[in-house]
């Protein structure tokens, strides 16, 4: 696990470029605290910051050259089948390996087989390989976007890096993308491949780039299979599919236990992380497991379920019991690390979990990805009911005039139920695509556009904004029912929210997180199965639950689903009130900045302090994150 950066300048590198590549290593220091180094010739510079996981010796350091001196690689990630690939494809090449790292295997796979080797990789990655003789740079990102890669191009230079703060170390155009900002105000994250800057993009998952004097050639080497596109070449009954899923997950977890440093697993008390721990414990007895609980928020505390699992599988378990003050004390550390507006508030809890976990291990397994693949969210059940209720859904839609005036909040059981019914009623009146987009966000398009001043609304182009939506919603053109929703979640929610959150918060603490559910064999299998295997008779993640029902404590299957919630409403009405009203969202700063409409901001703050706060706390959190970021990077 590492951070990488690079610059390619057509007219030749300047002294300023070399200074910038060195600056990127400082920016990426937490991603790679063990070693930082760079390579440079006349046109290309590559930087690397290393967190040593496999072959922790100096032989594994990067940038790494092959023995001919022609190829140079910088790599962020882990390849779990690298030894198998080496045995299969390189054993007859008379290579004297200098390390036992996956990086060196990748370098020689490219040397002998070219770009096609990417399709053989099982793991998560972002990397660049410079061919000095051909004067090309080959760049690729893993299939699901587990590891980030930012990309900038203008007439003179191409820049890429693992984090936006490393891109900003170079001289780039920092024009804000107004349409991306509009989407951010709805979603609290920016959907890939867009970023907050108009000329910076995210390399899309499953994509490879060949950069040469002729330009940038972009190719997609992977797509999610559809039902009937079964790459195993056979069909499965539901029971057979459950058994096969269990086999594939077991193999995935076993692959991800390879490490030359201490390893553990997150254990939230939900089914997903419990499945991972149950499998890991088979291959690594007394594995370290880690949970966080909320001492001040019993409604959201799930540690009793985690401890049931830990006891059953005899893990070396640690529970971090957090107070609201613990969460609050890390708030500004998180805001300082965020280098592009990103406002999933559960990142605060994930940050603390990673920070505490890093004190004992360097690698942790997580259960991320299962909800998006196998219909684990409330919105998936709502979609299922909407599509199966028929006239009943229209009746629920008629409740909107009543629920719209009732108090709604995530902070209590009754008010959260009203909030959910209100969102369901709103979605019932929309088409499939618009409903999906609306259910991903906290506010509607007109409402969020009204947050901008007339000047900034004048910079906004509806067609460009629609292009953002269309890119995310194109999967619905397949008319594949609930599978379209899951496919959209993989491309939007998982890629742009969940994986960003885990990568940012783990890397801020120099912790590598591995995600067994996102093994290519597991993902391909799940998406090749029909939707009714995933949401079956109203049971979310049916295939996963039934595959492991006999292995896990029964209590896990009879409990409500909670996410990582943090007490934003309490903070905004208390400790953070002054930051909101006298600093980041004060009328004077809003006027000076000139981006947001002060009347709309004050109306949102007023709602925050009303008896019907709704989603105002989440929207204000999004604004605070943006304002803090803007002050740090653009003011």
Q: Rounded to whole angstroms, how far apart are CA atoms 347 and 335?
A: 10
- According to the 3-state scheme, what is the secondary structure of 495-562? HHHHHHHHHHHHHCCCCEEECHHHCHHHHHHHHCCCHHHCCECCECCHHHHHHHCCCCCHHHHCCCCC
Residue 566: pLDDT above 80?
no
pLDDT in tens, 62-110: 999 999 999 999 999 999 999 999 999 999 998 999 998 999 999 999 9
Q: Which pLDDT belongs to residue 33?
A: 86
- Bridge-based pairing state of the strands 71-79 and 64-65: antiparallel
Q: Classify the C-alpha dihedral 166-168-173-177 as positive or negative.
A: positive
Kindly report, as residue ranges, where domains of CATH 3.60.20.10 are found in the chain. 2-220
Give, for 571, the enclosing helix (H) or strand (E): helix 568-573
Distances (CA, A) of 605 to 446, 573, 598, 599: 18, 10, 11, 10
pLDDT in tens, 289-325: 999 988 777 766 788 999 999 999 999 999 998 888 8
Give, for 202, the enclosing helix (H) or strand (E): strand 200-202
Residue 358: pLDDT above 60?
yes
Residue 229: pLDDT above 90?
no
pLDDT in tens, 400-427: 655 555 555 565 566 666 677 777 777 7
CA 115 to chain centre: 25
Q: Which pLDDT belongs to residue 464?
A: 95
Q: Rounded to whole angstroms, how far apart are CA atoms 396 and 392?
A: 6
Q: Which residue has the higher pLDDT, 59 or 25?
A: 25
Residue 237: pLDDT above 80?
yes
Kindly report, as residue ranges, where domains of CATH 3.40.50.620 are found in the chain. 238-367+515-554
What CATH code would you report for 2-220? 3.60.20.10
Percent of the chain past pLDDT 70, that is, above it, reads 93
Q: Which pLDDT belongs to residue 1?
A: 61
Helix locations, 580-615, DSSP H: 587-593, 598-608
Q: Rounded to whole angstroms, how far apart are CA atoms 262 and 56?
A: 12
Q: Rounded to whole angstroms, how far apart are CA atoms 481 and 486?
A: 9
Radius of gyration of the chain (CA): 24
Q: Which pLDDT belongs to residue 334?
A: 96
Per-residue burial over 535-572, b if 16 or more Cβ lie within 10 Å, else e, is: bbeeebbbbbbbbbeeebeeebeeeeeeebbbbbbbbb
Percent of the chain past pLDDT 90, that is, above it, reads 77
Taking all residues of the chain, what is their mean pLDDT, rounded to a whole number? 91
Q: Which pLDDT belongs to residue 226?
A: 80
Q: Rounded to whole angstroms, how far apart are CA atoms 29 and 49?
A: 6
Q: Which residue has the higher pLDDT, 284 or 427?
A: 284
| Position 161 confidence tier, pLDDT thresholds 50, 70, 90 | very high
| Position 635 confidence tier, pLDDT thresholds 50, 70, 90 | confident
For 404, residues 6+ apart whose C-beta sits below 8 A from its C-beta are 422
Q: Which pLDDT belongs to residue 415?
A: 62
- Name the residue among 167, 165, 169, 198 with its Cα closest to residue 181: 198
Q: Where are the beta strands (DSSP E) in 118-163?
A: 123-131, 136-141, 150-153, 157-161
Q: Rounded to whole angstroms, how far apart are CA atoms 423 and 400?
A: 8
What CATH code would you report for 238-367+515-554? 3.40.50.620
Residue 257: pLDDT above 90?
yes
pLDDT in tens, 24-48: 999 999 998 888 999 999 999 999 9
Q: Which pLDDT belongs to residue 414?
A: 62
Residue 74: strand pairing partners: 128
Q: Which residue has the higher pLDDT, 506 or 414?
A: 506
Residue 597: pLDDT above 70?
yes
Q: Which pLDDT belongs to residue 429?
A: 78
pTM: 0.94
State whether residue 181 is helix, strand or coil: helix
């Amino acid at each position: 696990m590492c951070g990488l950066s690079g610059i390619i300048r057509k007219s030749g590198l300047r002294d300023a470029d070399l200074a910038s590549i060195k600056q990127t290593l400082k920016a990426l220091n937490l991603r790679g605290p063990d070693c930082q180094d760079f390579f440079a010739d006349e046109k290309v510079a590559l930087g690397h910051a290393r967190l040593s996981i496999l072959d922790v010796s100096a032989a594994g350091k990067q940038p790494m050259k092959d023995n001919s001196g022609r190829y140079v690689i910088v790599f962020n990630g882990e390849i779990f089948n690298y030894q198998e690939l080496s045995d299969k494809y390189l054993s007859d090449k008379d290579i004297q390996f200098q390390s036992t790292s996956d990086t060196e295997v990748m370098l020689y796979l490219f040397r002998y087989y070219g770009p096609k080797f990417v399709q053989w990789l099982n793991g998560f990655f972002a990397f660049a390989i410079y061919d000095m003789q051909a004067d090309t740079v080959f760049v690729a990102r893993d299939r699901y976007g587990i590891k980030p890669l930012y990309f900038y191009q203008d007439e003179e230079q191409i820049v890429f890096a693992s984090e936006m703060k490393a891109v900003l170390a170079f001289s780039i155009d920092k024009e804000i993308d107004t349409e991306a900002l509009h989407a951010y105000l709805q979603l609290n994250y920016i959907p890939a491949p867009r970023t907050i800057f108009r000329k910076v993009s995210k390399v899309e998952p499953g994509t490879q780039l060949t950069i040469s004097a002729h330009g940038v050639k972009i190719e997609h080497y992977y797509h999610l299979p559809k039902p009937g596109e079964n790459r195993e070449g056979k069909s499965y009954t539901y029971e057979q599919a459950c058994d096969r899923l269990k086999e594939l997950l077991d193999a995935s977890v076993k692959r991800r236990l390879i490490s030359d440093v201490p390893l553990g697993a997150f254990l939230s008390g939900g089914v997903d992380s419990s499945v991972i721990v149950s499998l890991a414990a088979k291959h690594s007895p007394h594995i370290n497991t880690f949970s966080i609980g909320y001492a001040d928020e019993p409604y959201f505390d799930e540690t009793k379920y985690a401890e049931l699992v830990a006891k059953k599988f005899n893990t070396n378990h640690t529970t971090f019991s957090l107070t609201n003050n613990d969460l609050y004390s890390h708030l500004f550390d998180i805001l300082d690390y965020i280098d592009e507006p990103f406002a999933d508030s559960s990142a605060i809890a994930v940050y603390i979990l990673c920070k505490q976990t890093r004190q004992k291990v360097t690698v942790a397994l997580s259960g991320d990805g299962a909800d998006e693949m196998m219909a684990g969210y409330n919105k998936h059940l709502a979609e299922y009911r909407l599509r199966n209720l028929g006239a009943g859904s229209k009746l629920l839609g008629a409740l909107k005039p009543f629920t719209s005036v009732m108090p709604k909040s995530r902070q209590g059981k009754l008010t959260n139920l009203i909030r959910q019914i209100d969102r369901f009623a709103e979605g019932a009146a929309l088409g499939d695509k618009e409903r999906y987009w609306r259910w991903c966000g906290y506010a509607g398009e007109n409402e969020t556009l009204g947050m901008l001043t007339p000047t900034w609304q004048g910079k906004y182009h509806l067609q460009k904004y629609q292009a953002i939506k269309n890119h995310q919603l194109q999967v619905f053109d397949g008319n594949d029912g609930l599978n379209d929703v899951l496919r959209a979640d993989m491309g939007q929610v998982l890629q742009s929210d969940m994986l960003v959150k885990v990568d940012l918060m783990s890397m801020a603490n120099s912790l590598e997180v591995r995600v067994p559910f996102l093994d290519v064999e597991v993902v391909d299998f799940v998406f090749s199965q029909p939707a009714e295997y995933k949401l079956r008779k109203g049971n979310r993640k049916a295939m996963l639950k039934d595959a492991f029902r006999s292995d896990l404590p029964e209590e896990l299957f009879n409990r409500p689903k909670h996410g990582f919630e943090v007490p934003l409403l309490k903070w905004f009405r208390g400790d953070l009130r002054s930051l909101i009203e006298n600093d980041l969202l004060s009328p004077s700063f809003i006027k000076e900045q000139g981006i947001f409409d002060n009347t709309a901001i004050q109306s949102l703050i007023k709602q925050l302090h009303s008896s019907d706060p709704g989603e105002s706390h989440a929207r204000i959190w999004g604004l605070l994150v943006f304002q803090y970021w803007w002050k740090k990077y653009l003011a």
